[in-house]
Amino acid sequence: MPTTIGSLSEFELIARITSRLAPTHDVLIGPGDDAALLRAPDSRVVATTDLLVEGRHFRRDWSRPRDVGHKAAAQNLADVAAMGARPTGLLFGFAAPPELPVSWAEELAEGLAAECAAAGAAVVGGDVVRASELTLAITALGDLAGAAPVRRGGARPGDLVAVAGRLGWSAAGLALLADPPADPADPAAAAVVAEHRRPSPPYPAGPEAARLRATAMIDVSDGLVQDLGHIAAAGGVRVELDSAALRPDPELAAACALLDGADPLAFMLNGGEDHALAASFRPGTPLPRHWRTVGRIGIGSGVLLDGSPVNPSGWDHFGRGAPG
């Protein structure tokens, strides 16, 4: 029988977790005091928080704890990047049932720490409590390095719309977990399932977009159409997508072939949780190659694909129409 977290005291469990964390030069005081102290070089701090609940945002039978840690950190660090900021720190609240194996908590912490390291950030504090439901509460902090924050509402008619990062992979991976292919070792399936378990947000593209004076930016967490709909609504403009520019990555196309020929474009438009960055830029902005232009901003409202309105069928985390 594995050792459970309920057999440890609060302080023993905290020690098991914090021993897996490493500071960066931004960390002035890390875990162990009443609060952490983090550098905020430009005298402002970007801050965002998310909750992940077992069975709703992750499944222990579908993802290993290290993957859950990566994903929980990634979705918050991507929100920091989507403001144009560099992630600096992460706080981690952990509500868990006492029968959870200690190794699960330890590997979760290793995943959080590794994802933070990939983004240049560090886990700086947290809290552990007993609960019936396994829940992670993540807060991420970041620094704008003097840049103006890139908000949702600044897109103007004529702007380019561009995306950095992957689209549709996570949703295709989720579909394959729910309906596994005949050959579970198929490399296309493995690639998108891995991306569902551990999204790979393009963190440096966030501050880069701020330097390129992006007019608006958002993290694609609920689906491209839904998230661009927020940019359209906030800016009082419409987003005009061009399907020819939304060519699926080869791995996504191959995964769709395993899903009875599902349409990759549907995953790219509506799939959530990839944590790509979508942004608008003034026309003529010299975009690095990893930003793919997928459309433009027009006068009007909503999101159009090849001239026709498209409705979001992305995720609503809480109420009507939400899964789970």
If one asks whether residue 108 binds a copy of itself (CB under 8 A), the answer comes out as no
Q: Which of 15, 85, 21, 14 is nearest to 48 (CA)?
A: 85
* Binding residues for a copy of itself restricted to 172-211, rule: CB under 8 A: none
Long-range CB contacts (< 8 A, 24+ apart) of 262-266?
Answer: 262/172, 262/175, 264/168, 264/172
If one asks whether residue 311 binds a copy of itself (CB under 8 A), the answer comes out as no
Query: Sheet containing 302-305: which strands, arranged edge to edge?
Result: 216-220, 276-281, 160-164, 291-298, 238-241, 302-305, 308-309
* Binding residues for a copy of itself restricted to 118-177, rule: CB under 8 A: 124-133, 135, 137, 139-142, 144, 149, 151-152
* Binding residues for a copy of itself restricted to 41-80, rule: CB under 8 A: 41-53, 56-57, 79-80
Query: Cβ distance 121 to 89 under 8 Å?
Result: yes
What is the β-pairing status of strands 122-130 and 86-96?
A: parallel
If one asks whether residue 280 binds a copy of itself (CB under 8 A), the answer comes out as no
If one asks whether residue 92 binds a copy of itself (CB under 8 A), the answer comes out as yes
Shortest Å distance, C-beta 300 to a copy of itself: 21
Candidates 94-102, 159-167, 178-186, 190-198; binding stretch for a copy of itself (CB under 8 A): 94-102
Report helix, strand or coil for 75: helix
Angle at 152 (CA atoms; ends 150, 157), nearest 5 degrees: 100
Shortest Å distance, C-beta 277 to a copy of itself: 10
If one asks whether residue 99 binds a copy of itself (CB under 8 A), the answer comes out as no
Query: Has 50 been labeled as part of a binding site?
Result: yes
* Binding residues for a copy of itself restricted to 210-239, rule: CB under 8 A: 217-219
- Residue 308 corresponds to which tokens in the numbers above? 């026709």
Candidates 93-101, 114-122, 237-245, 296-304; binding stretch for a copy of itself (CB under 8 A): 93-101
CA distance linking residue 83 with residue 272, whole number of Å: 19
Residues placed in the known binding site for Mg(2+): 34, 48-50, 79, 127, 219, 222
Residues placed in the known binding site for substrate: 57, 273, 315
